[in-house]
Each structure stands twice: as structure tokens, then as C-alpha cells.
């Protein structure tokens, strides 16, 4: 059996993993991707079954890595379904370490945080992960290097404006971890106009291919752009409604496809805080919706307190070790990080309203403070995952500014279901989904 596949194989995500599948799309679109290959999910399943790498894989690895340009490599996990930050990534490896690195990634499939994430999302435990091996590119090589992430549209509003984060002179893990404050994507044009032009071309090509708003990870090394990942953006709430209706209006997708892309839950997450409110702090809206709960300053506290009512987890930044607390919380706030940080990505995957990069926020063991104003753990706060506001108490909320798009989408839903009786929006959309499923 052949365990290794070229990135251009065109194999489905359940064979080569979502990361490698996206890289294959980029390569077929003629976009710049570091040379590499992928160890398929079948090899991981064999490892999980037998407790060792399958026969023949070590020889295939040696042959495959010999075909890469000389230099060091990155080794990244990539299951058929996204599991952000839940498994091991190894960067900058002497190629002789490759067999041990692949074993380490396979073994991380059964770490507690990975199992918890799969339990939360209903992901089968026997899928296994692929491993993508690529030539390293260095965002920290010199002053003309850096790293970033980009959305082809704003992930909180759905507006057709590219949005993203960049760090100059840093590697990709610095953006995703949330340890550093990134710069806005717009800063790239002034310092690296050729990189920005290449990225704009890539964003247009990828969105046209997927017929959806998309997410990209990229690095530039000495002024040369490299793309490291691409996938549909999986927008939620207001952004999901705005993007679906805009693409339908443009004729990119049909109205029935637009309805399928918006869940009834998205319609419940279009609320916004109504001024005036006692706003404690402002950050970046990372996942739409409003959440009300008592402040918890650690993952353990969030799990414990959630048994007695909703909590909002407030952290300097999050890591995979905070997963249980994030799952227990009604909403998430971090002091650092951008809209592609661990907190933001996991919050969107879990459907939790989130605010990241909250200016001036200090998180202590039993309290939080902003500009000298302190709130004890257990104080009720409300967060707006669209505007990025964190307010004290429970201010009034209202439907979002996307009300016109919501009503148009619901009109399409009624036309499909044939039911125009007065019902809540989620029920109207669910009826359309049921009708489309019956037609199929």
C-alpha cells in the first residue's frame, strides 16, 4: 500500500487531510506553495491500530524527502475535518528526524485536548490525521520577511473587504498563538507592495474557486510570498447571512445554496449591544453574537462556575489547554491576539461569541482590570462578538445591522418551504432546510 501522496494528487480531504487538500487546490490554481508531500490518514489509522508506523512508510519517507529542495522541513497535522491547534506541529526539523516527527504527530491524535475537541464536535475518534511535510519558509529570516493570515471578507460583518493580521519578522506560530499583537493586513501594502499584490491575486483566485469567503495563511521570505493554507472561511452569524446573500445576488451561487449555507443558529447570533451601555473595554470582534455571563479567569474556574449559570472566560490569550473552559463558557475574551488567534479560531468553530485583542485588559487570578477599573471574578459582563465591546452588567440588545439581509434570506426560505405564516426566523429557515432535504 502506498502511504504517501503528492500535494497535487487531488485526493479528497478524508484521504490527505484538509490542510493538504487545500494546498493542492492552491497548487492547481498556480499559486506559490512550498514543496512538500503528505502522509495520508490511512497511515495514521494503521499506527493507532498497531502502535507503530506501518511497514514501508519509513522507506517512502526517505524517498519523498530526498525529492524536496535541500533544507529543513515543517511537519504539520491535518485531519479530514478541522481541529485547530489540537494536535502537534513541528517546525524547522535536520530531515533525518522525519520518522520520529511523523510518529509524534500521529500520537497526538489521542491527546486529552484532541479527544475533548472531537467529543464536543461529534468527530469520530477513528478518522486519524494526515501529516503534511513541506520545505520550511522563514518569516523571521530578515527584515523583508514576515507572516500573516487573511480573510477574503470581514469575518464578523461579512463585508467584501479583505481582513487579516500580519507580523513582520515573525513565524506563523506567533500569529496563531495570540502571544503578540499583530498589525492589520492593510500595513502590508506600505512595506511589501509586491507581497500584497500577490496576496490579493491569491485571495481572488481562492474565493472564485470555493465560491465562498475564504481564509488563507501565508508567509513571505525575503520579499517572496508563500501560501501555507487555504479553506472556506466558515463564517457564522451576521457574516454568514451577509456573505450568502451577496454571493447569491452576484450569481455566484443560487438562492437554495445560500439558504443551505446559513444555519438557524446563525440567525440567533445576529444580536448587538444597544447603546448606551457601561462599556468596560473594546477589542476585536472575533465571533458574532452576544453572550452574558459571570467572569471566569481560568479554564478550571469556567468549568466549575458553568454548573451554576453562564460564564464568560477571560484570559490573556488561550491555548489548547483552555479547551474545556472555552467549551463551558458562553463567551470568550482575550487581552491579546487577532481574529486568527487560537481563541478566535476555536470560538468560531464552537459558535461562541468572542472578543480578542482587548486593549488595556489585565487578567489576574481573581479579577480583571482595564485602565484602573477592576472587576472581581463572578461579576456579570456582556460581550458583543461583532463590535468587540465588553460591557458591565446586562445592557439591552437588538438585532444586527444586517436586518435587511436577514429578511431577504427569510423571504427566500418561505418561497422554498411554501409557508408564509408568522414564525421566528430560525423556524422559517429550518423549514426551508427540511424542504430542500426532501427535494434532494
Report the pLDDT value the prediction gives residue 404, as an integer from 0 to 100: 84
Lookup: cell for 176: 496563531
What are 273's strand-pairing partners? 397
* Full strand arrangement of the beta sheet holding 367-370: 361-363, 367-370, 373-376
d(CA 322, CA 332): 11
d(CA 10, CA 288): 34
Residue 196's contacts (CB-CB under 8 Å, 6 or more residues apart) are 188, 189
Domains and CATH numbers, the chain: 4-135 (3.30.1490.20), 146-232 (3.30.470.20), 237-267+402-439 (no CATH), 271-399 (3.50.30.10)
Tens-place pLDDT, residues 360-411: 999 999 999 999 999 999 999 999 998 999 999 999 988 655 678 889 999 9
3-state class of 273 per DSSP? strand
Choose among 142, 330, 118: nearest CA to 222: 142
φ/ψ (deg, to 5) at 401: -70, -5
Tell me 274's DSSP state: P
Report the pLDDT value the prediction gives residue 1, as an integer from 0 to 100: 61
Tens-place pLDDT, residues 188-222: 999 999 999 999 999 999 999 999 999 999 999 99
Choose among 399, 401, 379: nearest CA to 391: 379
Number of residues in the chain: 440
Q: For residues 158 and 238, is the Cβ–Cβ distance under 8 A?
A: yes
Lookup: cell for 297: 479567569
CA 71 and chain centroid, separation: 30
Residue 63's contacts (CB-CB under 8 Å, 6 or more residues apart) are none
Q: What residues in the chain have per-residue pLDDT under 70?
A: 1, 399-402
Amino acid at each position: 500500500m502506498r502511504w504517501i501522496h503528492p500535494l497535487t494528487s487531488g485526493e479528497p480531504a478524508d484521504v490527505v487531510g484538509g490542510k493538504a487538500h487545500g494546498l493542492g487546490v492552491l497548487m492547481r490554481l498556480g499559486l506559490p506553495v512550498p514543496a512538500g508531500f503528505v502522509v495520508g490518514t490511512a497511515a495514521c489509522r494503521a499506527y493507532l491500530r498497531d502502535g507503530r508506523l506501518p511497514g514501508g512508510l519509513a522507506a517512502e519517507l526517505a524517498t519523498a524527502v530526498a525529492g524536496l529542495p535541500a533544507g529543513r522541513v515543517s511537519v504539520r497535522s491535518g485531519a479530514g475535518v478541522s481541529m485547530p491547534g489540537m494536535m502537534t506541529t513541528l517546525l524547522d526539523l535536520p530531515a533525518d528526524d522525519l520518522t520520529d516527527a511523523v510518529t509524534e504527530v500521529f500520537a497526538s491524535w489521542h491527546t486529552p485536548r484532541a479527544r475533548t475537541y472531537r467529543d464536543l464536535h461529534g468527530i469520530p475518534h477513528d478518522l486519524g490525521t494526515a501529516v503534511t511535510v513541506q520545505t520550511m519558509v522563514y518569516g523571521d529570516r530578515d527584515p523583508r520577511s514576515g507572516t500573516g493570515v487573511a480573510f477574503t471578507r470581514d469575518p464578523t460583518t461579512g463585508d467584501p473587504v479583505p481582513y487579516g493580521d500580519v507580523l513582520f519578522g515573525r513565524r506563523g506560530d506567533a500569529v496563531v498563538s495570540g502571544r503578540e499583537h499583530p498589525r492589520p493586513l492593510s500595513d502590508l501594502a506600505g512595506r511589501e507592495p509586491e507581497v500584497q499584490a500577490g496576496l490579493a491575486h491569491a485571495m481572488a483566485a481562492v474565493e472564485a474557486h470555493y465560491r465562498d469567503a475564504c481564509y488563507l495563511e501565508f508567509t513571505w521570505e525575503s520579499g517572496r510570498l508563500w501560501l501555507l493554507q487555504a479553506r472556506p472561511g466558515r463564517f457564522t452569524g451576521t457574516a454568514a447571512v451577509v456573505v450568502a446573500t451577496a454571493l447569491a445576488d452576484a450569481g455566484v451561487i443560487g438562492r437554495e445554496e445560500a439558504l443551505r449555507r446559513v444555519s438557524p443558529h446563525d440567525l440567533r447570533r445576529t444580536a448587538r449591544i444597544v447603546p448606551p451601555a457601561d462599556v468596560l473595554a473594546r477589542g476585536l470582534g472575533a465571533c458574532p453574537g452576544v453572550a452574558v455571563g459571570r467572569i471566569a479567569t481560568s479554564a478550571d474556574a469556567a468549568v466549575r462556575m458553568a454548573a451554576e449559570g453562564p460564564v464568560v472566560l477571560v484570559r490573556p490569550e488561550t491555548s489548547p489547554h483552555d479547551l474545556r473552559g472555552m467549551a463551558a463558557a458562553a463567551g470568550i475574551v482575550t487581552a491579546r491576539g487577532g481574529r486568527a488567534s487560537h481563541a478566535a479560531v476555536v470560538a468560531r468553530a464552537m459558535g461562541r461569541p468572542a472578543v480578542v485583542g482587548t486593549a488595556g485588559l489585565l487578567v489576574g487570578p481573581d479579577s480583571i482590570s482595564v485602565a484602573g477599573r477592576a472587576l472581581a471574578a463572578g461579576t456579570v459582563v456582556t460581550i458583543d462578538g461583532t463590535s468587540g465591546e465588553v460591557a458591565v452588567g446586562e445592557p439591552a440588545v437588538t438585532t444586527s445591522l444586517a436586518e435587511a439581509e436577514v429578511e431577504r434570506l427569510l423571504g427566500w426560505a418561505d418561497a422554498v418551504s411554501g409557508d408564509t405564516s408568522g414564525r421566528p426566523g430560525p423556524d422559517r429557515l429550518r423549514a426551508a432546510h427540511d424542504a430542500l432535504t426532501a427535494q434532494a
